[in-house]
Amino acid sequence: MSSPIKTRLHRTRPSAAQVLHPGVPRHLAPVALTLVLLTGAMLWIGGAAHAAEPAKVAASAQVPVVTLGSRAVGSGLSLDGSLQAVRQSTLSAQASGRIAELRVKAGDQVKAGQVLAVVDDRATQAGVAQAQAGFAQADAQLANARAHYERTRELREKGFMAQAALDTAQAQLRAATAGVAAARAGQTQSSLAQGFTRLTAPYDGWVLQTHAEAGTLAMPGSPVVTVYAPQPIRAVVHVPASQQALALAAQRVEVLLPGADGRWVTPEKRTSLPAADAVSQTVEWRLDLSEADGADQVPGRNVQVRFVGAAVANAPQRLLVPASAVLHRGELTAVYLATAEGHPTAFVLRAVRLGADHGEAGVEVLSGLRAGDRVALDPVRAGLSGAQVAQ
């Protein structure tokens, strides 16, 4: 009896269209539901299109342009370099033995005098104990020799001892004094040998690299730990020997620091080594950065160094583009070129090949542009849809 009832209830259950439109006949309900869905979709599309109009209007950015022209600039040189810590030390073992403890790892911060590694010092400890015992023995012999000399001298003054006995006592006192000095030197030597089994940080800084592990056999001179101080820091660049005269005659030297801001800074001090490397035929330049410029910089990072020469009247004419107008995307180097009136778009992307960087004057263009071309100064905004040339 339950089956007919369930069937009857199932047949009388209203459909989704009848719920939305109760007055619509049952056979027209699917058509009504389709019309409702189509109407909602059209309203959504219309609303989205209406909302997109402000975004399209906002994207119509006004981009300033600059007209390129050839100008005389001084000779310059741009090279790649790297940052280097002025105080960087590789600590080596001074005693032979296995490394019993390596208390630091790369990246750890250390303080001056902190123990970084310990070499097995059982042999040196025995040497220290032996030296201490030898000093105690020599000191006792000295006390005995001094007492014997005093007694002999008193007896000699009273005529009970011969002069030879006094001379012998005096010689024994001198020998005992020398023995104490030798024992003290041996004690100092053993203490130094004991100190050689401990590697300590020479200054506050960071551990750059570890060259050994605990259990490794250390020999005198074998590197164990490299530490460096974060300040001061310098940029190091290797100038080809053929360009050394140009670098020496540069009006100023600038370093492009790594980072998001990409600042060009002037070093506080620049030093050129007096000799060229026999293999690479380059001369090393060391450019010391100020404490403010070197803050948050770490050794090993790449930098760009440019030697800017003074402008002269007879300098060759070069086509320059502002550095801010250049767009770098992976291997692509390009600018946005303003088109003539009537073109569908105001800017087109043009690949270029650049040469030397002349600082504030701009970057030399080797190919891709010519004098009279108009280039967008803001390549990011010029790439937006609807961007226009600022009037």
Task: State the DSSP H helix or E strand holding residue 357, giving kind and residue range, or none if neither.
Answer: strand 353-357
Residues 177 and 239 in one domain: no
Mean pLDDT of the region 171-186: 89
Is residue 359 within 8 A of residue 308, CB to CB? The reply is yes
Residue 225 in any domain: the answer is no
Q: What is the pLDDT of residues 331-347, one digit of tens each?
A: 889 999 988 877 778 89
Which structural domain, as residue segments, surrounds residue 33? 2-56
Is residue 362 within 8 A of residue 318, CB to CB? The reply is no
What is the side-by-side order of every strand in the sheet holding 269-272? Answer: 264-265, 252-256, 302-308, 76-85, 233-240, 282-288, 269-272
Residues 324 and 385 in one domain: yes
Task: State the DSSP H helix or E strand holding residue 44, giving kind and residue range, or none if neither.
Answer: helix 29-58
CATH number of the CATH domain containing 354: 2.40.420.20
Residues 325 and 270 in one domain: no
**Of residues 144 and 315, more confidently modeled:** 144
Residue 336 in any domain: the answer is yes
Residue 236 in any domain: the answer is yes
Q: How many CB atoms are located within 10 Å of the residue 114 CB?
A: 15
d(CA 271, CA 79): 16
Q: What is the pLDDT of residues 86-132, one digit of tens each?
A: 999 998 888 778 888 889 998 899 999 899 988 887 766 777 778 78
- Please give the angle made by the CA atoms of 241, 362 and 371, to the nearest 5 degrees: 115
15, two tokens: 């459909």
pTM as predicted? 0.53
Residue 211 in any domain: the answer is no
Is residue 95 within 8 A of residue 69, CB to CB? The reply is no
Q: What is the pLDDT of residues 147-172, one digit of tens each?
A: 988 998 888 888 888 888 888 888 99
Residue 324 in any domain: the answer is yes
Task: State the DSSP H helix or E strand holding residue 223, giving kind and residue range, or none if neither.
Answer: strand 223-228
d(CA 305, CA 359): 11
The per-residue pLDDT of the chain, averaged, comes to 80
Confidence grade of residue 26 (pLDDT, cut at 50, 70, 90): low
Is residue 64 within 8 A of residue 53, CB to CB? The reply is no
Residues 102 and 180 in one domain: yes
The fraction of the chain above a pLDDT of 70, given in percent, is: 79
d(CA 212, CA 206): 17
Residue 216 in any domain: the answer is no
